[in-house]
């Protein structure tokens, strides 16, 4: 990864627009999700991430060749979110926020201040799990969600859908097989800790 980053940084510093677009395509989604998680404002999150990439492109010559690109992007995203939240706190003097909104801003600031890069892996894994569940065949997905997210027993699902318990079991096994295949690249221990129902 470090070797790849070194090459990417060099090409970025040289003004390679194709490499920049590739980096943008790879990281925009995860960075948007990361920002939106903390500021809870999709439009603002989009602007923060766009500003991040604009800053990356405009300041490409200043990048250190040993920069870990992924860590750098998340570090900048974190700082952008903190600045946004600080701006909201200034606005509180002029706007009437509810106590709940103020508390959310403060809690999000605390969360960002306590942010560690290791969380990136967990967050990406959670997004990958969600994407994998969404990609399941419709019937399989519905049965899986009833079991795992709504905590319904196989017999309850069978009764609700007017199917056999064996059919429910087969659909759950099918879902687990697909999810395991889609998430095979992640460490098993971390995977089991994050998704204890697999």
pLDDT tens-digit readout, 170-196: 988 998 888 888 776 655 444 444 444
Residues ≥6 apart with Cβ < 8 Å to 79: none
Are 154 and 169 in contact, with CB atoms under 8 Å apart? yes
Q: What average pLDDT does range 77-89 have in this prediction?
A: 86
- Which is higher by pLDDT, 108 or 161? 161
Render the burial of 7-44: b for 16+ CB within 10 Å, e for the rest.
Answer: ebbebbeeeeeebbeebbeebbebbbbbbbebbeeeeb
pLDDT of residue 114: 63
Is residue 96's pLDDT more than 90?
no
Is residue 68's pLDDT more than 60?
yes
Residues ≥6 apart with Cβ < 8 Å to 146: 152, 156, 157, 160
Is residue 60's pLDDT more than 70?
yes
- Which is higher by pLDDT, 142 or 114? 142
Domain 2-115 fold: Rna Polymerase Sigma Factor; Chain: A (1.10.1740)
pLDDT, tens only, 7-40: 888 898 888 999 999 999 999 999 999 999 988 8
Q: Where are the domains of the chain?
A: 2-115, 119-194
Residues of the chain above pLDDT 90, percent: 23
Average pLDDT, the chain: 79
Class of domain 119-194: mainly alpha
Separation of alpha carbons 34 and 89, rounded Å: 20
Q: What is the dihedral of CA 88, 32, 43, 87, to 10 degrees?
A: 10
pLDDT of residue 77: 92
pLDDT, tens only, 129-160: 788 888 888 888 888 888 887 888 999 889 98
Is residue 90's pLDDT more than 70?
no
Separation of alpha carbons 132 and 164, rounded Å: 25
């Amino acid at each position: 990864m470090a070797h790849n980053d070194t090459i990417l940084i060099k090409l970025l510093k040289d003004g390679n627009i194709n490499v920049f677009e590739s980096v943008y395509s790879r990281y925009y989604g995860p960075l948007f999700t990361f920002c939106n998680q903390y500021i809870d404002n999709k439009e603002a999150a989009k602007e923060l991430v766009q500003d991040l990439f604009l800053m990356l492109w405009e300041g490409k010559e200043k990048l250190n060749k040993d920069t870990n690109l992924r860590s750098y992007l998340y570090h900048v995203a974190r700082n952008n979110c903190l600045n946004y939240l600080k701006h909201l706190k200034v606005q509180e003097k002029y706007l009437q926020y509810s106590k709940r909104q103020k508390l959310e801003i403060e809690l999000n600031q605390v969360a960002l201040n306590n942010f560690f890069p290791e969380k990136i892996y967990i967050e990406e894994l959670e997004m990958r799990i969600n994407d994998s569940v969404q990609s399941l065949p419709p019937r399989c997905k519905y049965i899986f969600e009833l079991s795992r997210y709504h905590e319904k027993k196989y017999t309850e699902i069978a009764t609700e859908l007017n199917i056999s318990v064996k059919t429910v079991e087969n659909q759950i096994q099918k879902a687990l097989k697909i999810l395991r295949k889609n998430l095979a690249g992640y460490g098993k221990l971390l995977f089991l800790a994050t998704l204890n129902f697999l």
